[in-house]
Amino acid sequence: MEHDSHIVLDGASNVRDLGRRVGAVPGPRRVVRSANLDLLSPHGRQAFGELGIAVVIDLRGKVEAAAAPVLEGTTRVHLPIEPTVVAALLQHRAAGTLSVDAAIGVMQDAYRRFIVDHAAVFAEVFHHVLAARRRPVLFHCAAGKDRTGVAAALILTALGIARSAIIEDYLLSNRLYRSPNLATIDIPDAVREAIVKVRPSYLAAAFDAMTEGWGGPDSYLEKALGIGAREREALGEAMR
């Protein structure tokens, strides 16, 4: 393992036990985050089955999720957040403004939009984690780093985890995500790196949006997602 939260599933990457961030002792994993599960090998499917996952939440867009596998014993919940990054980069390329700085700006804008435009999706993620009543839940997007990264940051915030630890968890995607070949997208390698890797400024943009629109992360959780003190306590119980 490359980190104590890392879970090895052959055919999937960036699979992690979020409970390790809240001091959960080794045992049944309650909340798991990952990249997509589309290419799980037979061995990977067996290992997935051993996790006892009851609910799989797919945050990918409709086209991205078209090949989602049927995983025996799980309930699949599709909460789509449509991807926007590649289209925005191609617009920059057409306008002659494509650069690393432009790509960073595109990513930061995407994170702000996650918070502002998709509060209902994140509220549903919390709902399904709480409704699972200690049965394991896994949530993922395509790479398990952006949409999934924001969802994980919100859950950890609700659990009272320090911002520094949330950022540390977020940056693990740079070690644990195995990206597919994106060479078919005609963009410079440095620009590709800016969208494949995560940066602290991306997640900071999400937190800034919470502050600008709602007064801060705690207020966002309560006012936008309906996660107040009672729900936060229940979430803590569900993670233990």
The H or E element spanning position 147 is: helix 147-158
Helices 163-171 and 147-158, interaxial angle, to 10°?
Answer: 150
**52, 27 Cβ separation under 8 angstroms:** no
Q: Which two tokens stand for residue 213?
A: 């629109």
Which residues is 174 bridged to in the sheet? none
- Relative to beta strand 16-17, strand 31-34 is antiparallel
CA-nearest of 201, 125, 117 to 167 is 201
Strand partners, 138: 32, 56
List the structure tokens of 19.
Answer: 């409970």
Residue 51 DSSP SS3: helix
Q: How many CB atoms lie within 10 A of CB 82?
A: 13
- Active-site residue, 141 included: yes
Q: Which of 141, 156, 209, 224 is catalytic?
A: 141
Neighbouring-strand partners of residue 55: 75, 137
Catalytic (active-site) positions: 141
